[in-house]
Amino acid sequence: MFGKYRTLTFNDFNFNDELSEGISSMGYNTPTPIQGMAIPLILEGKDLIACAQTGTGKTAAFLLPILEKVGRSEKKHTSTLILTPTRELAQQIDQQVEGLAYFTGISSIAVFGGGDGHVYEQQRRGIQNNVNIIIATPGRLIAHLTSGILKLNKVDYLILDEADRMLDMGFHDDIMRIASYLPKERQTLLFSATMPPRIRAMAKKLLHEPEQINIAISKPAEGIDQQVYRLHDAQKTPLLQHLLKDGNFLSTIIFASRKEIVKSLYKELKTIGLHAESFHSDLEQRDREEILLRFKNKQLPIIIGTDALSRGIDVEGIDLVINYDVPADAEDYVHRIGRTARAATTGTAITFVNHRDERRIKSIEALIERKIVEHPLPEHLLSIAEVRHEKKPDQNRNNRNRKKRVWKNNKPTNNNNSQ
């Protein structure tokens, strides 16, 4: 078996010529650790549980061996089902299939909800034409299954990508229902950024004697200039405006903890004339896609979103990431700032830390094994007063002396002697 560091090039896997040509045309050369460890196991037909974060090359880790195996078959039926949590990820995987399988004759289609009737009809035709690989979100796939259009009785390979996110989004029952349509004799691969007990419980039901791979979360790239500002909440938005107006950043992502904050920041930045867009679940799917495309094409300089954006966006050349709120999970910090300094570039990651975030920032520093440099606030922001929210009076204490009210004939009367 190939060890973690023994595989030097993709030629070591002896892929067929057509797939090798696709790999070369996509610019792939040296396998990442997850690819070097997973590809041989998948080629051997093993079920697999792989813990690997976004950005490790995990998509190619499962696509390449599956494309190799599908390429050996007659390619006359749907042999592979890939389940993903979001439409964006389904489309990204489909695009990678198209690139890698360009010379192989293998067909694929992304199946997801949120589109118009034309999109649904396009998906239906692809399914009826026995497309080789289906990349789908669970909800829309079930719609096709229950309509009788889709048959999965010949599926040889089931892949669950970002399984933890699918469970977070409430897809457990849908996944188990889909699995009931599949042959018991199949190869199943489960990829997840984290491996909580509920993922392992699901894996026991779906996988047979799986091999396991755990790629430790990678540290942020050395090219990222990590900074923190210690401040109170009333100083956050003024500091954000200062950094964006005075800085020389062409491409910026701002992460907030809730979509309500995302919407509020969008209005604030728009008011001072900055070209920004908010990215959240209340937008129509086509609007979210259009925002991501404009941002990727450098037509939109600033995008504001929650952690859902940190795992769903694949854009190189981002200059600045701002954590308006410190993420609750230290690994989410790595995902967020990993959007910058990609492909050997440099970038800046700035995090706003209030008094409630001290424990979180210490957890982050412990994970990345370094102290993040603290920067002083600009002098003109020091005079901004902290807004203190008074605690509400003890409601129970106030109720102790309140006279009981008894309703009679739709009119309240005071009655201290009620039993």
- Structure-derived torsion over alpha carbons of residues 338, 248, 265, 351, reported in degrees to the nearest 10: 40
Residue 1 clears pLDDT 80, i.e. is over it? no
Say yes or no to pLDDT of 100 above 50.
yes
Amino acid (1-letter code) at residue 62: F
Report pLDDT digits (tens) over 323-355.
999 988 787 788 788 777 654 557 899 999 999
Helix (H, G, I), strand (E, B) or coil at 285: helix
pLDDT average, residue stretch 26-54: 90
Q: How far apart are CA 179 and CA 182, in angstroms?
A: 5
Cβ–Cβ < 8 Å for 16, 71: yes
Q: How far apart are CA 46 and CA 211, in angstroms?
A: 7
CA distance 333 to 327: 6
Task: Determine which helix (DSSP H) or strand (DSSP E) holds 245, and give its type and residue range.
Answer: helix 233-246
State residue 55's pLDDT score: 65
CA distances from 356 to 198, 223, 244 (A): 29, 29, 25
What pLDDT band is residue 316 in, cutting at 50, 70 and 90? low
CATH topology of domain 10-214: Rossmann fold (3.40.50)
Tens digits of per-residue pLDDT, 193-246? 878 888 999 999 999 999 999 886 667 777 789 999 999 999 999 999 999 988
Q: Which residues pair with 351 in a beta bridge?
A: 228, 323
Q: d(Cα 358, Cα 377) in Å, to the nearest integer?
A: 17
> What tens digit of pLDDT does each residue of 127-153 get?
888 899 999 999 889 989 998 889 899
Average pLDDT score over the chain: 85
Q: Which CATH number fits domain 224-378: 3.40.140.10, 3.30.1370.140, 3.40.190.80, 3.40.50.300?
A: 3.40.50.300
Q: 3-state DSSP call for residue 56?
A: coil
Q: Would you say 90 and 136 are in contact if contact means Cβ atoms under 8 Å apart?
A: yes
Per-residue pLDDT, 303: 95
Residue written as tokens 């896997």? 13
Closest CA to 195 of 226, 175, 216: 216
Average pLDDT over residues 93-111: 93
CB 50 within 8 A of CB 194: no
Per-residue pLDDT tens over the stretch 240-290: 999 998 878 889 999 998 889 999 999 999 999 999 999 887 887 778 878
pLDDT band at 308 (very low <50, low <70, confident <90, very high): low
What local confidence, expressed as pLDDT, does residue 129 receive? Answer: 85
- Sign of the C-alpha dihedral, residues 105, 106, 107, 110? negative
Average pLDDT over residues 362-376: 91
Calpha distance 361→341 (Å, rounded): 21
Task: Please give the model's pTM, rounded to 2 decimal places.
Answer: 0.62
Every domain of the chain with CATH number 3.40.50.300 lies at: 10-214, 224-378
Q: Strands 411-414 and 405-408, how do they pair? A: antiparallel
pLDDT at 356: 92
Cα–Cα distances (Å) from 302 to 69, 273, 320, in that order, read: 42, 12, 9
